[in-house]
Amino acid sequence: MRSKCKVLGKIAPISSLSEIPVWNFDGSSTGQAHGADSEILLKPVSFYPNPFLKYPNILVLCACYEGGDLNKPSLTNFRHDAIEIFNNESVQEQQPWFGIEQEYTLFDVS
């Protein structure tokens, strides 16, 4: 499981994605990039109220991009491919069904 946290100093409520900056992390530590070109950009795509930390905190869903380039989706950025497919005119009137499955294994090593 991966989580990247960022604390912003803004206290006022966020009202649009444009108010949330793109940030980055070293993708070699998670196997998402090679050590020579390991910057992964986190581009905000949606945000929600944080049910754990409460107001004014938010949770931000991000898409990953490689090499500091917002035009180069990471190998694990399947959201990018899905958006291209669903925005294609030939499928605009279709009502696709799809499922998303995520599996997690957590170990207590203490």
Residue 80 lies in a domain: no
- Residues 8-19 have a mean pLDDT of 80
| Angstrom distance (rounded) from CA 70 to CA 64 | 8
Domain of residue 59, residue span: 19-75
In this prediction, residues 7-28 reach a mean pLDDT of: 81
Q: Tell how many helices (H) and how many strands (E) occur in the chain.
A: 1, 3
Q: Is residue 36 part of a domain?
A: yes
Does residue 69 belong to any structural domain of this protein? yes
pLDDT per position as a tens digit, 31-86 = 666 667 778 888 998 888 888 888 888 888 888 888 788 999 988 888 888 888 88
Domain count, the chain: 1
In angstroms, how far apart are the furthest CA atoms of the chain?
A: 53
Q: Which of 29, 9, 27, 30 is nearest to 19 (CA)?
A: 9
Q: Tell me if 63 is assigned to some domain.
A: yes
Question: Does the residue 68 lie in any domain?
Answer: yes
